[in-house]
Chain A
Amino acid sequence: SQELEQSPQSLIVQEGKNLTINCTSSKTLYGLYWYKQKYGEGLIFLMMLQKGGEEKSHEKITAKLDEKKQQSSLHITASQPSHAGIYLCGADRRVGNQFYFGTGTSLTVIP
């Protein structure tokens, strides 16, 4: 079974709209990471969340980790075409810095 479930799998929004991507785990997360990947390229690190209830923002992107540390959301305000790509959540395994990843959410922003 998938350890990290992302929803939705794909998203198409009009430029200027807000959107939210979710990442859910059945287990407590020890570290939750958000990455963005442009098609056919590597992953760009966005944010890391560690504490229950933690929230971080970078430009128009805000990520939150719930109090139980089992769900995270990524919110983009006033989306732009430059936000398009695949968003992946990743989490630490308890031992070592070995990540496991969700299947990703593909975001398309229509100008």
Chain B
Amino acid sequence: ETGVTQTPRHLVMGMTNKKSLKCEQHLGHNAMYWYKQSAKKPLELMFVYSLEERVENNSVPSRFSPECPNSSHLFLHLHTLQPEDSALYLCASSQDNVGNQPQHFGDGTRLSIL
């Protein structure tokens, strides 16, 4: 139990569907992150939120749309995804976005695009 909960754990969707991934942290942290993990590739940072403000968007396609309504919740809205978007999507949080702090990860959502 890391204090970061992601739902759903598995998601299968067609390319024309719209779905959302949810992340909730119970650690009182101020920064939250979305990562993509594909086979044989390093973890890729997608988005960073600090105090509910987006501070980083690493050239992610617009078919991925993050939302951070408060410091405990983070969403990733998905629409018209491509087969290459199939991956494990991990959420993480840290106390702040200032460095020298470990990030705590959820168990991820395994996404499969048909």
Contacts and interface: CB of A to CB of B under 8 A. Distances in A.
B103 interface: yes
A97 B96 contact: yes
Contacts of A92: 99-100
B56 A96 contact: yes
14 contacts: A33-B102, A41-B107, A42-B2, A42-B108, A43-B105, A45-B102, A90-B43, A92-B100, A94-B99, A95-B99, A97-B96, A97-B101, A101-B42, A103-B42
A4 B31 CA distance: 24
Contact of B110 (A30, A40, A45, A90): A40
Interface in B31-57: 31, 33, 40-43, 45, 48, 55-56
B40 A31 contact: no
Interface residues of A, number: 29
A97 B42 contact: no
Interface string A85-105: 000101011111111111110
A61 to B, nearest CB: 15
Contacts of A88: 43
- Size bracket of the B interface: 20 to 34
Contact of B97 (A33, A45, A96, A104): A96
Contact of A42 (B42, B45, B102, B106): B106
Contacts of A94: 99
B30 to A, nearest CB: 10
